[in-house]
Amino acid sequence: MITNPTPQRSLRGHQPQRPSQRTAVTSGYVAHLARRLTERDRWLARMLYEHRVLTTHQIVEMAWPSVRAANMRLLRLYRWRLIDRFQPFVTYGTAPMHYVLDLAGAALLAREDGLELRDLDYRHDRATGIAYSLHLAHTVGTNGFFSALVAHSSRPDTTGRLTAWWSETRCARHFGDIVRPDAYGLWHEDSPAPAALEWFLEFDFGTERPDRLGRKLTGYAKLAATTGITTPVLVWVPTTRREARVRRALAAALADLDDPSLVPLATSSADFLDGQDNDPTAARWQPLDVRQPSTRRLRLTELTRAWPQLPPLGNSSSDPAQANGDVVNGLLPPSPLPPGPSDRRPQG
């Protein structure tokens, strides 16, 4: 009614009480917060700093036993301003909650590593701004690929584990003047024979022309020639139909290279996944070799057999960034795997 309008406060849902931005970065508040956090909470904060945004589903499959347990803890971390959250609009259904690092979480990371908050190049408006980014779906999709690998690493029947996961930002710091992969990964397998595979990921959403994707191979070939390190490139596409088009474009680009062996390629499609077996390590990868075409699908670690020119990586479980002392804004990349159950108890 015009004569009795609804008060503005009635149009808002209940918002949990949270510290102000000024309070969240004070030494006293951060010290008080640190006593209430588990090692898993700290791991999550570092993962959000490294990879920008994670959904509820991704967080649950990596580190929590159930959605209910995760939601209860995530709500508490949100109230403490360790993390922030948003829920994108979707035309049908309801999008999952998306989480980013909040001010208290950034201040905590800085103090744990002996840094000032400004050293992290963190801004709250920039962290939450990904909610409106045109790259949000791409970032979430890339992170979903690796969160599935983390989940597979934690299965009791698995013999492999993800030992390194670099974000697009960290990759750009290393290789951005030549090529910009969406992520870097390192997978180790213990059985039936020790094996390891590192790769750059090109996560394709079907939004760019296949020939443009093919032109990226020139940069990967230049990177291999410059560094003397040949790193495979895995291309993940949404459908098998799209995969066929992309493979034709990649084959043409590969044939134009002076030395195609500098860019080992394999493709796979989300069509090979289903709700019961969301495992990127399964026999779903098809190598691309213009000289010896093959339709056989290989497991992730079997790809090394398709590229005999690759030197063995050994079976070390260390992250190469840790070994080389690599830091981005003062922080080393976090371990992709969360702390064990014994490290998840609240401190103090």
Please report which helix (H) or strand (E) contains residue 236, including its range: strand 233-237
**Which runs of E-coded beta strand occur in 89-159?**
98-101
CB neighbour list of residue 15: distance below 8 Å, 6 or more residues apart:
none
> Which ranges in the chain are annotated with CATH 1.10.10.10?
18-133
Gyration radius from the chain CA atoms: 22
39-51 and 103-112 helices, crossing angle to 10°: 100
CA angle 327, 333, 336 (to 5 degrees): 170
d(CA 175, CA 261): 19
Q: Which of 159, 149, 259, 242 has its CA nearest to residue 199?
A: 149
Q: How confident is the model at residue 330 (pLDDT cuts 50, 70, 90)?
A: low
Lowest mean pLDDT among 7-11, 86-90, 231-235, 284-288: 7-11
DSSP type of residue 134: T
Q: How confident is the model at residue 347 (pLDDT cuts 50, 70, 90)?
A: very low
- Per the DSSP assignment, residues forming a β-bridge with 266 are 234, 287
Residue 127's pLDDT is what? 96
Residue 65's pLDDT is what? 93
d(CA 24, CA 33): 9
Answer whether residue 2 shows pLDDT above 80.
Answer: no
CB atoms within 10 A of CB 194: 14
Residue 323's pLDDT is what? 45
- Per the DSSP assignment, residues forming a β-bridge with 189 are 160, 195
With a pLDDT cut of 90, the percent of the chain lying above it is 69
Residue 322's pLDDT is what? 52
pLDDT in tens, 196-212: 999 999 999 888 899 99
> CA-CA-CA-CA torsion for 119, 123, 124, 129, nearest 10 degrees?
-140
Residue 16's pLDDT is what? 73
- The mean pLDDT value of the chain amounts to 88
pLDDT in tens, 67-109: 999 999 999 999 999 999 999 998 888 999 999 999 999 999 9
Q: How confident is the model at residue 182 (pLDDT cuts 50, 70, 90)?
A: very high
What average pLDDT does this structure show over 19-33? 95
Answer whether residue 314 shows pLDDT above 70.
Answer: no
pLDDT in tens, 144-168: 999 999 999 988 888 889 999 999 9
Residue 340's pLDDT is what? 75
Residue 235's pLDDT is what? 97
Q: Are 54 and 96 in contact (CB under 8 A)?
A: no
The strand pair at 233-237 and 195-203 is best described as parallel
Q: How confident is the model at residue 282 (pLDDT cuts 50, 70, 90)?
A: confident
Domain 18-133's class? mainly alpha
